[in-house]
Amino acid sequence: MADSAISRIRLPGAAVQPTPAVLENRERIRPRLERAAPLVASSQLAVALRRSKWSILAFALAGGILAALVGLVRPVMFEATSQLIIDAPARSSIAPGGSSAQDLIDSSIDDHITMLSSQGHLRRVATALHKVEGSAPSASKAEISRPGPGAASKTSFAARIIERLWPQSGAAVDSDLKLLRNRTRIGQELRSRIISIAFADEDPVRAALVANTFAQIYVNELAKKAQAEDKVELDGVVASLPRVQTDLVAATDRLEKYRLSHGAVDQGSADNAARERADLSQQMSMSKADLAAMESRLQHAQDLRKQDAPIASLAEALGTPQLADLAARQAGAPADEDLRAAIDNEIEQGLAREEAEVNTYRAQVGALEDRKAVLDAVAADTATRLSGLRALEPQVSLLTQRYNELLSRQQDLIRRIGAPSAGVSILSPAWPPAKPQTLPPIFLVPPGMIAFAILGMMFVLVRNRFSRTLRGEAETEAALRIPCIGLVPGSGKMHMKKLRELVLGQPSSAYSRAVTSLLVGASPNQARTRSPHTILITSSLRDDGANELAWSLALAATRLGGPVLLIDLERPHHQLTHEFLQHRSGPAVLRSFGDFISNRCSLEDAVATIPEAGVDLMTVTPSEDLLKLLSSADSLDCRDELQADYSLVVINGPSGLAGPEARFLTNWADAMLLAVRWDKTPRDIARGVLDLLQRDGAISVPTGSVLTGVNLKRHGRYQFGDSADLLLEQLP
pLDDT in tens, 249-287: 888 887 777 766 665 555 566 667 677 778 778 888 888
Q: What's the rounded mean pLDDT across residues 70-88?
A: 87
pLDDT value, residue 214? 92
* Whether the predicted pLDDT of 725 surpasses 80: no
CA 619 – CA 605 distance, rounded (Å): 12
pLDDT value, residue 61? 92
Query: Residues 564, 566, 570, CA angle at the centre, nearest 5°?
Result: 175
Bridge partners (DSSP) listed for residue 568: 619, 652
Output Rg (C-alpha) for the chain, integer angstroms: 64
pLDDT value, residue 144? 32
User: With contact defined as beta carbons under 8 Å apart, do 379 and 210 qualify?
Assistant: no
User: With contact defined as beta carbons under 8 Å apart, do 501 and 515 qualify?
Assistant: no
Residue 463 contacts by C-beta under 8 Å, 6 or more apart in sequence? none
Q: What's the rounded mean pLDDT across residues 617-645?
A: 83
User: With contact defined as beta carbons under 8 Å apart, do 77 and 202 qualify?
Assistant: yes
CA 486 – CA 707 distance, rounded (Å): 7
pLDDT value, residue 612? 81
Q: Nearest-CA neighbor of 679 among 471, 528, 486, 540? A: 471
Q: What's the rounded mean pLDDT across residues 501-525?
A: 82
CA 625 – CA 661 distance, rounded (Å): 10
Residue 580, Cβ neighbours under 10 Å: how many? 25
CA 37 – CA 719 distance, rounded (Å): 12
Residue 73, Cβ neighbours under 10 Å: how many? 8
pLDDT in tens, 428-487: 999 999 888 887 888 888 888 999 888 988 888 787 777 778 877 877 888 788 888 888
CA 440 – CA 451 distance, rounded (Å): 18
HSE-CB at 89 with a 13 A cutoff on CA atoms is 17
Q: What's the rounded mean pLDDT across residues 671-695?
A: 83
Coil, helix or strand for 535? Answer: strand
List Cα–Cα distances, 376 to 37, 161, 266, 457, 548, in angstroms: 116, 103, 17, 107, 140
DSSP-derived secondary structure for 553-601: HHHHHGGG-S-EEEEE--SS--HHHHHHHHT-BS-SSPP-HHHHHTTSS
Identity at 671, one-letter amino acid code: A
